[in-house]
Structure 1
Amino acid sequence: MYKPILTIFYQFNPWYSTIGGIQTLVSLFIKYAPSEFDLRLVGTGHDRCQPNLKWQKAEFAGREINFLPLFTLENDNIRSLIPTTVKYTNVLLGRCFASDFMHFHRLEPTLATLNWQGEKTLFIHNDIHQQMQPNGDKKAILWRRFPAAYFALESLLIRQFNQILSCNSDSAKFYSQRYPTLSNRISYIKNSFDSEIFYPLSHQEREAKRRELAVRLGLVPETCFILFAGRLHPQKDPLLLVRAFAALNESNTHLLIAGDGELATKIRAEIGRLGLTERVTMLGAVNQTEVSQLHQICNVFVLTSIYEGLPLVVLEALASGTPVVTTRTGETPKLLTDDSGVVCSQRTPESIANSIRQVLLHPEDYPSVSCVQTARPYAACNVIRDIYSEMLNRWELRTFSAVSS
């Protein structure tokens, strides 16, 4: 029996994945895809074992997929002079990989898809209105320098999509107001986490493993760990986090930074300037299993972003029983409850330090069970299953209508 084909377009390689929530979400769509679908991924290659521009059968997370790398990309954690999205779009132009369903996670590559037939879905991963604000670091995203050009391109391309799904409710509202004739295609969608990987330990296990980590790092067993995990990118503003940790100035606390990116050198310099060399550990890029283990034993996860959608890493921390401290950005402030985290009143080192201190001094106010309960509705096994179920229903209706006519 013929199966509907879903083709996912994104500039990554699931077997050699770089840091990012989009990469994680695409991987979840592969892992939790029902058997009723055939999956294709148009991504990037890593080495000669995966020849470019050739379809190849492969297995990922126990699921068989057809994979086509457009070009070789060894490390996308650090941006090159030519943005990866531009390279990806350039290779896609003039080709056609249309299928029953097509998922896009960047707007620019859809320059190549205007005439492709099939159901197209665009995923919006950030609060676009905030992302395109002219204030702040224009290096955070190239389009910030040319917002009028971005929105002109967007207005040209966006009408081709059957669905526009945003993980940020403000962004969904922004799009509905900007394109009122498309409002019935625009909706909010929950981001999701993998509950098979991110889950809490018992209190006893958590404390034992936290002490083990402290001893391994040469710290006192009572050390409290503050965690950041993600790309070291201007959007995430990890320099603000380091300054907030300096302002915290609490004994027996240690900051763990898991991730890599273009700001790594500046962060190391700032750590040295503030005299924090012995109190901050930069772990570099770590795999998903290592990240889950860090979430399970740290005392608090901190996010200091300038703009966001709904970061998967926040869901992963909460699902692991760890409270979250965040700046007032993205969907996270709407998600957190009074007993699962704190939203900072201001984007200043002092405000963030005060919020971290609040969690560290009163852990009983942020119990693991409350954090897990906050994350539970976003579990991928449910969220993604429901999305696929709706897709299959639409495909069956289209197929029935075609046969009937």
Structure 2
Amino acid sequence: MHKPVLTIFYQFNPWHSTIGGIQTLINTFIKYAPSEFEVRLVGTGSDRTQKVRKWQEAELAGREISFFPLFTLENDNFRSLVPTTIKYTAALLGRNFTSDFMHFHRLEPSLAALNWQGEKTLFIHNDIHSQTKAADDKNAILWRRFPAAYFALESLLVRQFSQVFSCNTDSAQLYRQRYPSMGDRVKYIKNSFDNEIFYPLSQAEREAQRHELAKRLGLSEETRFILFAGRLHPQKDPILLVRAIAALKEPHIHLLIAGDGELAAAVRTEIAQLELSSRVTMLGAIPIEELAKLHRISNAFILSSAYEGLPLVILEALASGTPVVTTKCGETPKLLAPDNGVVCEVRSPECLANALHQVILHPENYPSVSCVRTAQPYAARSVVRDVYSHMFTRWEKRNFLAIS
């Protein structure tokens, strides 16, 4: 009997350094895919030397997969005039990637799949309804300017999905309300972190490695680190983050920004104008293993987003034993407890600064064990394997009915 085939659709190259929770989740789904499945990825090429529009065998995290790059995308951390999702959707049109299972991580590309046969699943990573209402930046997402057009497209496409998975309970409930006939197909799914990469250190190891990083950066041994990791995009509001550091009157607290994106230049300008060059280090895009090391030695992780689903980076921080400070958005406020983080009721520099002050100066109130305990149910080995187990059961049932 042939293996069930899962084809994943997303506009990235997993062997190329890229920023984003969607990319990380897809990599995790590939890494932990059981041997009973054949896994394929329809993505993008990372340089002009790579053949495009051809299937090629490859290996990712020890797992053999088939990879089909639709076109070359040399840097997906920056948006171009024509959104990458539009380019990706256009490149899919006229093709047929029918599979036993098809996973889509954006709605728009599924336009090409309307007539494809097989079980289709849509993963919702953000609350699109909140995104279309976002007022902080007119460039946050293209659909914010045309919400009616998006919802018309959504209504056309969403009914083809056998399952709609959302990592945000409010978003899942909203989809059930908008599409009552699909109520049993819309489900909450836990986002998952790779527990082989993100794990805590002992207190002694954490302190030793923190001292080592401070020395490497030319900082005092007393330095305490705040970490931000993510795309420098209006959604994440990194300008607010920098202003929060300015409002935090603690010279030995240092912000590490791991990420890149269209707001990188604006962030650098803000740092210079607020005279924070000695208190903020921009690291650019870094490999996930390097990011994991920073999570393990940071005193706090911060999220200043305007809207979210459940960011993987929050789970990664908690799994590393690091408490979280966040704005009140997405699923994170429902996840955190008083002993592993602080939710800011107001999106202001002062509120974020006060929360950071509270967490960093009173670490005894936010023990590592509490952080890890909260993240543990989201470990990829159990969450992802459970998804595959249900997929395989449905596949076996369909095959049994087909030959009966």
Match of 1:303 in 2: 303
> Which AA in structure 2 matches 1:198?
F
Task: Give the secondary structure class of the aligned counterpart of 2:325.
Answer: strand
Say whether the 8 Å CA contact 2:96–2:116 is kept in structure 1.
Answer: yes
Looking at structure 2, the residues matched to 254 and 48 of structure 1 have their Cα atoms a distance apart, in angstroms, of 39
Say whether the 8 Å CA contact 2:258–2:284 is kept in structure 1.
Answer: yes
Say whether the 8 Å CA contact 1:134–1:145 is kept in structure 2.
Answer: no
1:260-300 CA deviation, whole Å, 9 max, x = no partner? 00000000000011110111100111110110000000100
Match of 1:117 in 2: 117
Match of 1:54 in 2: 54
Structure 1 residue 35, shift from structure 2 partner: 0.4
Looking at structure 2, the residues matched to 70 and 28 of structure 1 have their Cα atoms a distance apart, in angstroms, of 22
Structure 1 residue 176, shift from structure 2 partner: 0.5
Choose 123-132 or 261-270, whichever is displaced more: 123-132
1:127-161 CA deviation, whole Å, 9 max, x = no partner? 12211115221211010011010000000100000
Match of 2:381 in 1: 381
Looking at structure 2, the residues matched to 17 and 272 of structure 1 have their Cα atoms a distance apart, in angstroms, of 27
Choose 124-133 or 384-393, whichever is displaced more: 124-133
Match of 1:189 in 2: 189
Say whether the 8 Å CA contact 1:223–1:253 is kept in structure 2.
Answer: yes
Q: CA RMSD in A?
A: 0.8
Structure 1 residue 49, shift from structure 2 partner: 4.8
Match of 2:241 in 1: 241
Match of 1:70 in 2: 70
| Corresponding position: 1:135 with 2:117 | no
Say whether the 8 Å CA contact 1:317–1:323 is kept in structure 2.
Answer: yes
Task: Give the secondary structure class of the aligned counterpart of 2:282.
Answer: strand
Task: Give the secondary structure class of the aligned counterpart of 2:41.
Answer: strand
Choose 358-367 or 46-55, whichever is displaced more: 46-55
Looking at structure 2, the residues matched to 377 and 138 of structure 1 have their Cα atoms a distance apart, in angstroms, of 37
Say whether the 8 Å CA contact 2:134–2:140 is kept in structure 1.
Answer: no
Looking at structure 2, the residues matched to 48 and 392 of structure 1 have their Cα atoms a distance apart, in angstroms, of 37
TM-score (norm 2): 0.99
Looking at structure 2, the residues matched to 14 and 138 of structure 1 have their Cα atoms a distance apart, in angstroms, of 30
Say whether the 8 Å CA contact 1:215–1:221 is kept in structure 2.
Answer: yes
**Which runs of 5 or more residues in structure 2 are unaligned?**
none
Looking at structure 2, the residues matched to 382 and 172 of structure 1 have their Cα atoms a distance apart, in angstroms, of 22
Structure 1 residue 48, shift from structure 2 partner: 4.6
Match of 1:16 in 2: 16
Looking at structure 2, the residues matched to 316 and 399 of structure 1 have their Cα atoms a distance apart, in angstroms, of 38
> Which AA in structure 1 matches 2:260?
D
Match of 1:285 in 2: 285
> Which AA in structure 1 matches 2:160?
Q
TM-score (norm 1): 0.99
**Pairing of 1:221-370 with structure 2 (within 5 A):** 221-370=221-370
> Which AA in structure 2 matches 1:87?
K
Match of 2:97 in 1: 97
Looking at structure 2, the residues matched to 136 and 209 of structure 1 have their Cα atoms a distance apart, in angstroms, of 38
Where has structure 1 moved over 6 Å in runs of 4 or more?
none
| Corresponding position: 1:85 with 2:70 | no
Match of 1:392 in 2: 392
Say whether the 8 Å CA contact 2:134–2:306 is kept in structure 1.
Answer: no
Say whether the 8 Å CA contact 2:6–2:40 is kept in structure 1.
Answer: yes
Task: Give the secondary structure class of the aligned counterpart of 1:68.
Answer: strand
Structure 1 residue 47, shift from structure 2 partner: 2.7
